[in-house]
Amino acid sequence: MKEAVMRRRYVPDLQRFNALCEGNYRRLVQLRRLAASDGLHATFELRDRDAYFGRVHIERQQQSRYTETLLLEQIHNSGRWLNDPHLTVRVYHDAGLAEVVSCYRDYRIQAVNDYPNRSMHHPDEKAQVNAFLADWLAFCLRFGHVAAEEIAWPV
């Protein structure tokens, strides 16, 4: 006689998720101060001494009174790396939150996924993608530099 294995459905930890999104908001605000920006686009390089990790491009895709949608992508000069980040992030200025809404070709990340599923997303895919954003933004803050030619010097 086989015992039926009961799988418990994943329930998101909203307190932890909001803390993650708050941290992402703070890191994103710091990063945008670092980048050379024209208001709609911001760019900076990632490097550590002689090691070059590529450029990060931030583009504002949409803006309203309290929110904006940003495209964040990392591009390496010799073409795209296998897993260059390409994320769409919704920024809620009134709440101080930044949340990934799409990643690569996934146009909408579900808060909870059944498992297994056709795309093989994890049950907590949204939390994992936002945790990745936190790690990547921290990396960008550590190794981000504005190229000298992009700094507007006063005349």
What is the chain's pLDDT, residue by residue, as a tens digit (155 residues)?
A: 455 555 677 666 789 999 999 999 999 999 988 777 777 888 889 999 888 888 899 999 999 999 999 999 998 765 555 567 889 999 999 999 999 998 876 566 666 556 666 765 555 778 888 999 999 999 999 999 876 555 444 44
The verdict on residue 87 lying in a domain is yes
Q: Smallest Cα–Cα separation from 127: which of 28, 18, 22? A: 18
Q: Euclidean distance between the first and final Cα of the chain, in Å?
A: 84
Q: Smallest Cα–Cα separation from 25: which of 57, 67, 59, 85? A: 67
User: Helix or strand or coil: residue 155?
Assistant: coil
Are 54 and 77 in contact by the 8 Å Cβ rule? The answer is yes
What pLDDT score was predicted for residue 154? 45
The verdict on residue 76 lying in a domain is yes
Q: How many domains does the chain have?
A: 1
The verdict on residue 96 lying in a domain is yes
The verdict on residue 3 lying in a domain is no
The verdict on residue 134 lying in a domain is yes
The radius of gyration of the chain from alpha carbons, rounded to an integer in Å, stands at 18
The verdict on residue 70 lying in a domain is yes
Q: Which domain holds residue 71?
A: 14-141
The verdict on residue 150 lying in a domain is no
